[in-house]
Structure 1
Amino acid sequence: MAPDETSTAHNSSRAPEPVGLYPHARRAGNLLFLSGVGPRQRGQKTVPGVELDEDGNILSYDFESQCHAVFQNVRYILEEAGARWEDLVDVTVFLTNMKDDFHVYNRLYAEYFASSQPCRTTVEINCLPTPIAIELKCVAVVKG
């Protein structure tokens, strides 16, 4: 079978535009795989809570606002692809500063996932492709 017969790409009209050639999500059977989702906002180059110098280096960032923004972007993608927040079954989070940011992420994650608890993996990485401190990679089960 050709790829388009077994899976469907989905792009959100509310989530930030991808920074490369990939869809926001791809459905394969009843699984929905989200590409890496960051905190940027659609139509904007800036990142919530991030202050850059004239060379594009990060001067400061508000990690909590980035967390709220990334969770909202995941929700946008899920909803437009026919899934719900509660349908998430696996979340991988990439942090650029585990030492300083993990406790904030862990607290907010507990609030957002109080009633539904997908599997979770958290890793620290050196950097992300845009000046962000967090990115999520998610898998959901689509019902119907």
Structure 2
Amino acid sequence: MEPDVTSAAHNSSRAPEPVGLYPHARRVGNLLFLSGVGPRQRGQKHVPGVELDEDGNILRYDFESQCHAVFQNVRYILEDAGARWEDLVDVTVFLTNMQDDFHTYNRLYAEYFQTNQPCRTTVEINRLPTPIAIELKCVAALPG
């Protein structure tokens, strides 16, 4: 029997609009791949807890509020694609300031993933395409 390799794009009406030409998620077989998800809110360019200067550079940010917003956006995308938080099997975390933010991220991650513990990779990067300090890339496995 050949595997199901049908592919379908999914966009959430609750998550922030993508900043490029890509869907929020794509289902292939029983896997759901989420595009990078940040803390912006739908219909807004402002990022929760971020203060910018006149040139758009980050002056200050509230990393904890960004974490909560990212997790909520991931949940929106999962639910709107027919998945659940518990279906997550892999999370890649991109942080722009590992030294200052990893401890907070790790603490909040433990709260959100008490029962479901997907694989996780955390990397520090120089910057993200919008003035955010965190982005998640996730994969969920859906029931057959």
Q: TM-score range by the shorter chain?
A: over 0.9
SS of residue paired to 1:12: coil
Superposed CA deviations along residues 8-44 of structure 1, whole A, max 9, x for unmatched, are 0000000000000000000000000000000000000
Instruction: Determine the structure 1 residue equivalent to 2:20.
Output: 20
Superposed CA deviations along residues 96-127 of structure 1, whole A, max 9, x for unmatched, are 00000000000000000001100000000000
Task: Note the residue ranges of structure 1 that are not aligned, 5 or more in a row.
Answer: none
Instruction: Determine the structure 1 residue equivalent to 2:47.
Output: 47
SS of residue paired to 1:23: coil
- Per the normalisation by structure 1, the TM-score is 0.96
SS of residue paired to 2:74: helix
Residue 132, structure 1, aligned to residue 132, structure 2: yes
SS of residue paired to 2:56: coil
Superposed CA deviations along residues 24-82 of structure 1, whole A, max 9, x for unmatched, are 00000000000000000000000000000111010000000000000000000000001
> How far 1:85 moved relative to its partner?
0.2
Q: Any residues of structure 2 matched to 1:53-72 within 5 Å, and which?
A: 53-72=53-72
* AA aligned opposite 2:30: N
Instruction: Determine the structure 2 residue equivalent to 1:83.
Output: 83
* Percentage of matched positions with identical amino acids: 89
Whole-Å Cα distance in 2 between the matches of residues 70 and 31 of structure 1?
21
> How far 1:142 moved relative to its partner?
1.3
Q: Which runs of 4+ in 1 moved over 3 A?
A: none
> How far 1:135 moved relative to its partner?
0.1
Task: Note the residue ranges of structure 2 that are not aligned, 5 or more in a row.
Answer: none
SS of residue paired to 1:99: helix
> How far 1:143 moved relative to its partner?
1.6
**How many residues are paired up?**
140
SS of residue paired to 2:41: coil
Instruction: Determine the structure 1 residue equivalent to 2:103.
Output: 103
* AA aligned opposite 1:82: G
Whole-Å Cα distance in 2 between the matches of residues 131 and 76 of structure 1?
21
- Per the normalisation by structure 2, the TM-score is 0.96
SS of residue paired to 2:138: strand
* AA aligned opposite 1:105: Y
SS of residue paired to 1:101: helix
Whole-Å Cα distance in 1 between the matches of residues 8 and 114 of structure 2?
30
